[in-house]
Each structure stands twice: as structure tokens, then as C-alpha cells.
Amino acid sequence: MRYLPLTPSDRQEMLATIGVPHIDALFADVPEHARLPGPIEGLPLHATELAVERHMTALARQNTVAGEVPFFLGCGAYRHHVPASVDHLIQRGEFLTAYTPYQPEIAQGTLQMLFEFQTQVARLFGTDVANASMYDGSTACWEAITMARRVTRRGKAVLSAGLHPHYVSVAKTMARFTGDQLQTALPTLTGEPDTDTLIAQVDDDTSCVVVQYPDILGRIGDLSALADACHAKKALLIAVVTEPVALGALRAPGEMGADIVVGEGQSLGVGLQFGGPYVGLFGCSDKLVRQMPGRLCGETVDADGKRGFVLTLSTREQHIRREKATSNICTNSGLCALAFSIHMTLLGEAGLRRLAGLNHAGACHAADRLATVPGVELITSRFFNEFTLKLSKEARPVVRQLADRGILAGVSLGRLYPGEAELANGLVVAVTETTTPEDVAVLADGLTEVLS
Amino acid sequence: MSVNQSGWRPERPSAADAGAATATGNRALMLEEPLIFEIGSTRTTGVDFADGDVRHDRLGDLTRKTPIGLPGLSEPETVRHYTRLSRQNYAIDLGLFPLGSCTMKHNPRLNERIARLPGFADVHPLQPVDTVQGALGVINQLAFWLIDLTGMHGVAMSPKAGAHGELCGVLCIKAALEARGDTERRVMLVPESAHGTNPATAAFAGFTVEDIPATAAGRVDLAALKARLGPDVAGVMITNPNTCGLFEPELKEISDAVHAAGGYVYCDGANFNAIVGRVRPGDLGIDAMHINLHKTFSTPHGGGGPGSGPVVLSEALSPYGPLPYTARTADGHIHLIEEERAQEFSDEHFGGKHDSFGRMTAFHGQMGMFTRALTYILSHGADGLRQVAEDAVLNANYVLRRLEDVLDAPFAASGPCMHEAIFSDAGFPDGFSTLDVAKGLIDEGFHPMTIYFPLVVHGAMLVEPTETESKATLDQFIDALRSVATRAKAGDPSLKAAPHFAPRRRLDETLAARKPVLVWKDKAPLADAAE
């Protein structure tokens, strides 16, 4: 077995040193009835690297690859071009095969990277600080809601109708067990986000308002008035960003008064990966930092006075506080945070702005072109790189028919909101720098045929 | 032919030379690296873009007007920055990484290649189901094999890491209790030796946490546990093998007692590597167990994640597992069961018994980890996995027996350990601690073992070598630890200042916590991006 270095004679020698005749003696504590006599049934026996590669490659071939077809899916996961150096660097063994940096003297690489990542995220979000990552956007969103409960000592969270329905589902699942009260609503096929409705919902029992920016339908709105309404009632505003590239073009939520900004960092460096692993981003204001979940990296000095970095404020965390911790999170998403950070470093501010500009311009072009297709109405008035179309037919079968023609046309709202007739004709279309004008033309032609 | 034909030979350096400062602060291959904020500029970018219109005409008044402050680097500078940073990290690729309960084993590179196949890496989670049959096939195959390996009834694949899996298991317990109208069970029993995530998870799910005492032999005290069981106890969270590296021989009796009292048994599967292929946890009566794919199944730790924590479930808890799940039907088609089809599919295929508590995360879980773990299982097969457990346990016992004469091994007398060996700081002179031993090991070129955990052993040192270490490496590690332990016991003052040779000396963690500096603050504002 290529991964096991011990030879049969090593094993004999070591058993002799230990002073037992046979390996079974080391499993003596296992009760008789639970000892398996031989290899577990149902699994194959060991295989060569070549054989395994053949098997897995055959499975991979059964999937339609996003990069090989006209592709327009978004809704929380976006296809961007990731520079080759990102994947090369994250595969350096010193990053890939390191553990959580518990021994900072020999983990400065990971720690300095995390410090840089935290700063990049905080600046992008317009928050004072950011943590060293969460699992993904959806879990970061729930953690933000529980953090707002701890800060405000109130149990009612108001969730925007424009919040990603999976994020809403995660919050609902958790709230059912924690007893948090959630006010939720379904989106409507209108051009503007539900800011005014949210403002009207804030009251003295509200811990937080959770608003996505841009929202699930791609809509954007100013958060300042909502932030003021929250603060007037001593509630927190939580902004959720599922497409961080948008913040290269749009005002930062922190700048508009959001107290906590969370997000999905997958867009930069990570790739689609059928939904995971991704990287949760989590930023907040300085005064809330001791209620934050997750790992934090901080600057300090070593015994020689040299600058160095350590994990800090761990008195918030489970390994110290146990049942009184701010969260149970332990392993987070370090390697994806590295990928995000490298991609962001390659882009820099000028690159990020240019990338965002290209995304927006492509989306504007696509929206205008698709709106000319008979039976297609553009719903979203202000958007970044994703917009919603209302089709003359139910969108879900349309998406399936277009998939049969080799076009991945977008996300039907029927997939996200099954059984909601009002939304069934909605199609959310995302356009990035990877989308070509030819792709848009193919989609327009396909829609024309399918809708006629 | 020798390259050096001049006859020059190196001279023996003087002691003074070794300590000499350099102008750069670098020490040959040990290179200091500034922050990107100190070397980058907001005008620099390492990415070239196609020419094109960048109108901002649908953003309304939301166009960003203020600078962000994100420095950029060209590609060569970027590669050098991160390569230099990487060299300040210890990693399994460099040497033994014996962190107890963390299972730092070799990460096979085939797994990395497979995860990057476009058919897995470049697939969107919301693509029509017919276009992702291979991806769903991976999830389903891995799910079935995890069930086979553990002898359980079902598995929830979506939890993102171990602690998230714990939460999943505990929520299944809560959902099952609710389903039978049993809402008075608010207490979760957790051993003092448990990983901190156990009590944190139970509390997060709304349970009150109470300790279970341990025996002098490092096992759960069955009699004390039985005495505590009652109508207010929802269940117990037990780690097996436990965090002292010992198998819980009475786990089946514990499970039976808990079930008889109306509760459920959660098993922390962090240490599954010790028993994979030799023992099926399902045979010990447990109801839920998370499996860290980033431990037992070799997916890389990546400096702190991503992990993946599927949860295997008993028949009693399986109906409550989270959405989405995948299931293969008799026609060979693999179904993705999300919110909309859950009830219908349950009625058709599970006799209406599936009553999921809902979604724990967006999308389907850690697909990139599933492909790696499935590749790992295929590589090892049932025979190889059994050998994994045997070699992991053999390596740990070898370390235990070869060090017990210099380090106190509190449970060595009670028999063999499983996959990790535990030592205490008993016998160290005043002023010398486990921390000093750990820092001394760094100078010897090894990552230290887990220290001060579990809490039940004073100054604990928990050594988990894993099966992917050769005997020669173990011997070298044992010699190094023996030397450092001997120095600690002799009160060698130089150990107090260790590490001497790492990229940094001991770091001031108190300062970091007292005056937190969590982001870079510019000494001068970064130049505005040209736009």
C-alpha cells in the first residue's frame, strides 16, 4: 500500500519492542462482539493510482462543465477566472498540509496570511475588523444573527425577502432549536429591494435586520436609511454579500452603516466546486469584536522584539470557554481564505475595480440583449452582475430545455422557491468576465426558440 | 570531476560568526517578508484584463466613490510573497506532525489531482440535476461507504467540519425528542475530557451541559453515568477512542443504559482513524457520529480548514437528518432531495418516515472534500483501511513504550493505547512545563504534540503519530523528545528560551489579547487607485 511506510519486518520489530505477540493484542479493549474478523464487506480492495484515477475521471465526465458551455448561473456561487498562480501557491505543502496555527513560532506563514486576509476583508466590507474565516456565507449569516442576539439581548431577527433562500433555510433550521424568532418573507418580482418594508418592521424587540447586497434577484439599494432605522431602535444591521466582486464597484455596506457584514468569498480564488468548500467572510465594528465568532489573528512581538502574529482573543472560543463560547466553530476555511487573499493581492484595488467594471458592463449588455427576446421582461432596474428576467413561461422547464441544448441559462426561481407560483417565471442570470458576447447571443437565441 | 578545483576548503566558523546580524534581517534561506500593505500599491495589478467598456450605468447612486485600500502585486511579486510566507510554516510535508486528536497524516496528491478535474471543480451547485450525475454519484458512493465502514443506518453529508457535524448530530437528537413529544430532556452529559466543541455545540443547540466523571483508568465512569441518567437527560456525547487515546470498553453498556433511560448517544468521531476497518461504531450502539474527512480520510488541513464532517446516524435518528441528501433509486438514477421533493420522496421511498430538520448550509456540503475522501477510500480499499488503523495504533504504542521511562504515562499501566499516546508533566522541576518541552521540540525540527489537552491530565502531551510515518521517523522523533524531556527534568535553562532556531522566538500572546491589532493600519494613506 503506497501510503503506508511500515514494512512487515518493521511491524514485527515494533510489536516486539511493545511486548505483544500480535497486532490484535493492541485492540484488546475492543469487546469481542465488536471485533471485525476481516476487511469490511461492501467496499472494494485497495487499488492502484492509475485505476483510481480512471474511476474518478469517469465520474467527472458525467457532469456538464461550466467552462465548456454558455454559462449564466449565480445565486450565491459565481464563476470567475482564477489566475493560475493562485492554485499553484495554495498547493505548496507548507500551506496545504499545515494545521491550525497553534504553535505560532512555526506557523508565521499561515498567521501573516490570515492577518492580511482579515485586513483585505475589512477594507472591502468597510468594517473595522474581520475574522480569519467561517465555513461559508450561509453559516456566517446565521452566526451573525446569533451574535446580534448576544449583543442586543433580543431574540427577533428580521430577514429581508431578498436574502438567499438557502441562507434563510439555514437560519430557520437553527432558530427552530435555539428559539430565536425570525421574520421572513418571499421576494416579489419587482425592480427594487424591500428596504422600506424592512424599515417598517424594526421595533424595540428587533435584534437585527439581515439584508443581502446585491440581493438574491440581483437588486441593489442604499442601506443608509435602513441602518439609521436599526440604530434608532438599538438593533444591528447585518449586510450579507454573496458576490464580493460587486464591492469593487459598489459602496461598501460598512460605509453605509452596517454593523456586521458577512459574505461568501467563493468568487475570489475558490471556484465553483459544486458548492463547497467555500469561505465565509465576517467583518464587524471594533466595539463588537469580543462577541465575534471564529478565529482571529492578531499582531504582537516575539522575545527578540520582532513583529509576529498569533491567534488571539481565544477566550471567546470553544477550546477555552467550552459551553460558554461565542460559537462552536473550530476548523474554518483557512486554505480557501488563502486562495481568496492571493487572488485579491493579484488584483489589487485597481484590478478589482477593473474586474467589477467588466462584470457590470457585461451584465448591462446581456440584460439589454435578453430583454429584446419576445416573452422576456427585465425586472431588475439597478444591479451589478446579476439580474432577474420574467419569462412568459415557467422558468424551470425552460432551464432544463436549454440545458439539453448545451446552455446553462441561469437559476430558475422555481428551483429556489419551489411551489411559489408568483415566482415560477423568474430566471436569475449572472454575467461575469468569463461570459462572452457569443455566449449571450447563444442564450438569446435559445430563449427565443424555447419561449416561442 | 570535482567542481571545486582550487583546493579551497571551508574553515570552521567561529562562534561569533553564527550570531552575527545581517543587514537585511534575513538568515540565508530564512527570509523575512513584509506585509502586502508594505510592499504593494493600489495602482499595481497582477492580472491583465481584456479591453472593454467599464460603464457603471445601472448602479445608480451606489457607485463606490472612496478608495478601498487594497494593495496589488505583480505575479512574480505575488508568487515570491506567498512562497516566502509558506517557508515559515511547519507542515506534514516537512515532517512528523504528531498533534493528538488531529490526525495529521499524509495527504495523497492523487486526491488533489482528482478534486481539480473540471468535472468536479468547475460545476455549479444549482445546475440542473441531469447535468451533475457524476457529482451526485460521488456524494452517494461516499455516503454508502461511510455507512458500510461505520455499520450505521444513514448519513448526513452536508456538515462543513467536525463541529458542524456535532451540531448536526445533536440537532438530530433534539428533533427526534421533539418528534416523540419529549421536550423535558434538556441536559446533555459530556465527559470532562471532551474536545471543547462538544460542550459548545450542546450549548449552541440549547442544551444544558453537565460533566460525566472519569475513572482513574481514564474511561467514562459507567456507574456514575448510570446514576445521572433520568427523564431530563437528552443524551451523552462520548469520544471513542477517547481523548486520552483509550478505547471505551464499556461503550455498548453505556449506549444500552442511555437508551433504556430514553436518551441518545452521540459519539465524537474525531478519533475514528484508530478503528477504521476494524470496529464499526454502529456495533457499539451509538446513534450519531461525525467523521472528520480531514482527519481519517486524509483531506488536507490547509492551515485550519476547510474540513468536512459527515454524520452517520442510527435508524432512530436517520429520518431527521438535514437536507439536501442524495439517494439512488432502483433504476440507478441518483436523486438530489432538496426542500421541494423531500416529503414526496420520503413517501415514495422511505414510507413517509423522512422528516428532515432542514438545511444546515447552502448547497450540498464540502464537495471538494468528498472527491478527495472517495479517492482515498478507493486507493486503500477495505483491506488498506484496516491496515491504516493497525499501523496508526502500532505507531502510537511504539512511541508510548519507548518513552514511558522518561515521561510519565498516566494510563500506560492499564494496557495499550489506541492511535495516540498521552504523557503528563509529572516529574518536571519547578519552573519547567509541558510548554517548554513543546518549544524544545520545535528546535529539534518537529511540530509539537497537542499540549494541555485533555484537561484531565496535568500538563498533558498527546502524541498521535498516524500510520503514514516510517519507523525511522518515529525513532528520530522519540530520540528528540527523549532528549528534550531529559533536559526539562534536569532544569536546563536554555529550554525556557526555546525555540532558538524557528522563524520567531516565543510570541507575546498576552500583548496580542490586551491590545488587539487585528488589521493593518496604514502609517500613511495608500495612494488612490487610478480611476
Which of A170, A310, A348 lies at the smallest CB-CB distance from B362?
Answer: A170
Last residue of a domain, one of A302, A322, A343: A343
Residue A338 and residue A356 in one domain? no
Contacts of A15 in chain B (CB under 8 A): 394
Question: Both A317 and A414 in a single domain?
Answer: no
* Mean predicted confidence (pLDDT) in A424-451: 98
Contact check, Cβ <8 Å, B82/A113: yes
**Please, what is the end-to-end C-alpha distance for chain A in angstroms?**
59
Question: Nearest-CA distance from A342 to chain B in Å?
Answer: 7
Kindly give the pairing relationship between strand B421-423 and strand B461-463: antiparallel
Residue A39 and residue B41: Cβ atoms within 8 Å? no
What pLDDT score does B529 carry?
41
Q: Which of A274, A209, A340 is nearest to B361 (CA)?
A: A274
Per-residue model confidence (pLDDT) at position B530 = 39
User: Does residue A371 belong to any structural domain of this protein?
Assistant: yes
pLDDT tens digit string along B248-280? Answer: 999 999 999 999 999 999 999 999 999 999 999
Query: What's the burial of B226, exposed, middle or buried (CB within 10 Å: 0-12/13-18/19+)?
Result: middle
Model confidence band, residue A323 (pLDDT cutoffs 50, 70, 90): confident
Contacts of A333 (CB under 8 A, 6+ apart): A133, A134, A135, A136, A277, A278, A279, A280, B304, B305, B306
Average pLDDT (A245-250) is: 97
Contacts of A12 (CB under 8 A, 6+ apart): none
Same domain, A409 and A310: no
Q: Alpha-carbon distance B480 to B438, whole Å?
A: 11
Are A60 and B502 in contact (CB < 8 Å)? no
Whether A234 has its CB under 8 Å from any CB of chain B: the answer is: no
For helices B133-150 and A49-61, what crossing angle results, to 10°? 130
Mean pLDDT, all residues of chain B = 92
Question: Mean per-residue pLDDT for A63-70?
Answer: 98
Q: Are residues A331 and A413 in the same domain?
A: no
Res B525: pLDDT: 56
Chain A residues in contact with B37 (beta carbon < 8 A): 116, 119
pLDDT of B204: 85
- Helix, strand, coil % (nearest 5) of chain B? 40, 10, 50
Q: How many domains does chain A have?
A: 2
Q: Do A36 and B44 touch (CB under 8 A)?
A: no
Contact A12/B at CB under 8 A: no
Q: State the pLDDT at residue B20.
A: 72
Q: Which residues of A touch B341 (CB under 8 A)?
A: 418
Name which CATH class applies to B112-372. alpha beta
pLDDT band, residue B526 (cuts 50/70/90)? low
Q: Indicate which CATH number applies to the domain containing A421.
A: 3.90.1150.10
pLDDT for B345: 82
Containing domain of residue A273, as a range? 84-343
Q: For residue A393, give Cα distances in angstroms to A189, A390, A397, B190, B413.
A: 14, 8, 9, 55, 74
C-alpha cell belonging to residue A271? 471556484
Q: Which residues of B touch A17 (CB under 8 A)?
A: 398, 401-402
**A392 and A329 share one domain:** no
The answer to whether the Cβ–Cβ distance between A101 and B307 falls below 8 Å is no
**Is the separation of the CB atoms in A394 and A414 below 8 Å?**
yes
Q: What is the pLDDT of residue B336?
A: 81
* Cβ–Cβ gap B37/A119 under 8 Å: yes
- As a whole number of angstroms, the distance between CA A308 and CA A299 comes to 6
* A438 close to B (CB below 8 A): no
The per-residue pLDDT for B56 is 66
- Residue A349 to residue B70, Cβ atoms within 8 A: yes
SS3 of B182-202: the string is CCCCCEEEEECCCCCHHHHHH
Q: What is the DSSP letter of A1?
A: -
> In chain A, which residue's Cα lies nearest the Cα of B250?
A31
Above pLDDT 90, what percent of chain B? 81
Contacts of A416 (CB under 8 A, 6+ apart): A75, A165, A166, A216, B126
Q: Is A44 on the interface with B (CB under 8 A)?
A: yes
Q: What is the pLDDT of residue B12?
A: 66
For residues B70 and B42, is the Cβ–Cβ distance under 8 A? Answer: yes
Tell me the torsion sign for CA atoms B102, B104, A265, A443.
negative
Q: Which residues of A touch B530 (CB under 8 A)?
A: 350
In this predicted structure, what is the pLDDT of residue B8? 67
A271 touches chain B (CB under 8 A): yes
Spatial contact of A124 and B42, defined as CB atoms under 8 Å apart: no
Asked if B373 and B298 touch (Cβ cutoff 8 Å), the reply is yes
Q: Which of residues 152-211 of A touch B (CB under 8 A)?
A: 164, 166-167, 169-170, 172-173, 176-179
pLDDT in tens, B374-422: 999 999 999 999 999 999 999 999 999 999 999 999 999 889 999 999 9
Evaluate if residue B524 carries a pLDDT over 80: no
Q: Do residue A293 and residue A356 come from a single domain? A: no
- Same domain for A368 and A403, yes or no, is yes
Residue of B504, B509, B517, B523 for testing the chain A interface, max A β-carbons within 10 Å: B504
Q: Is residue A198 part of a domain?
A: yes
Answer yes or no: do A294 and A376 share one domain.
Answer: no
Sequence-separated (6 or more) residues with CB below 8 Å from residue A219: A162, A191, A192, A193, A380, A381, A382, A383, A388
Predicted confidence at residue B193, as pLDDT, reads 82
| Percent of chain A predicted with pLDDT > 90 | 94
The average pLDDT across A230-255 equals: 98
Across the interface, whether the CB atoms of B86 and A109 are under 8 A apart is answered yes
Query: Element (H or E) spanning A367, and its range?
Result: helix A334-371
Query: What is the average pLDDT across A436-449?
Result: 98
Percentage of residues in chain B with pLDDT exceeding 70?
A: 95
Decide if B363 and A321 are in contact by the 8 Å CB cutoff.
Answer: no
Neighbours of A303 (CB within 10 A): 15
Cα(B507)–Cα(B412) distance, rounded to whole angstroms? Answer: 34
pLDDT of residue B51: 85
Q: Per residue in B82-133, pLDDT tens? A: 999 999 999 999 999 999 999 999 999 999 999 999 999 999 999 999 999 9
To test the contact with chain A by mutation, choose from B112, B467, B519, B521 the residue with the greatest count of A C-beta atoms within 10 A, namely: B519
Looking at the fold, whether A185 and A276 belong to one and the same domain comes out as yes
Residues A227 and A289 in one domain: yes
Q: Is A308 within 8 Å of B371 when comparing Cβ atoms? A: no
Min CA distance, A64 vs chain B (Å)?
A: 5
Contact B358 A173 (CB under 8 A): yes
CA within 13 Å, CB half, B392 = 33
Region of poorest pLDDT, from A48-52, B331-335, B337-341: B331-335
Domain-ending residue, one of A343, A361, A386: A343
| B394 vs A contacts (CB less than 8 Å) | 6, 11, 14-15, 18, 23, 26
Q: CA–CA separation, B454 vs B504, rounded Å?
A: 27
Q: Which residue has the higher pLDDT, A328 or A201?
A: A201
Mean pLDDT of A313-337: 84
Residue B145 has pLDDT above 70, yes or no: yes
> Which residue does chain B place closest to A48, by CA atoms?
B379
Residues from chain A that touch B502, judged by Cβ atoms under 8 A, are 105-106
N- to C-terminal Cα separation, chain B? 60
The Cα of A409 is separated from the nearest Cα of chain B by a number of Å equal to 9
Specify the pTM. 0.96
A67 with B118: Cβ contact below 8 A:
yes
Judged by CB atoms closer than 8 Å, whether chains meet at B382 and A403 is answered as no
Residues A362 and A311 in one domain: no
The stretch B284-290 carries a mean pLDDT of: 97
Out of A289, A317, A343, a domain closes at A343
Do A300 and B179 contact (CB within 8 A), yes or no? no
Contact B171 A177 (CB under 8 A): yes
Give the mean model confidence (pLDDT) for residues B515-525: 85
Q: Place B531 in a pLDDT band, splitting at 50, 70 and 90.
A: very low
Q: Which residues of B touch A420 (CB under 8 A)?
A: none
- Enter the ipTM: 0.97
Q: Are residues A367 and A415 in the same domain?
A: yes
Among the partner residues B138, B394, B469, nearest to A23 by beta-carbon distance: B394
Residues of A in contact with B254 (CB under 8 A): none
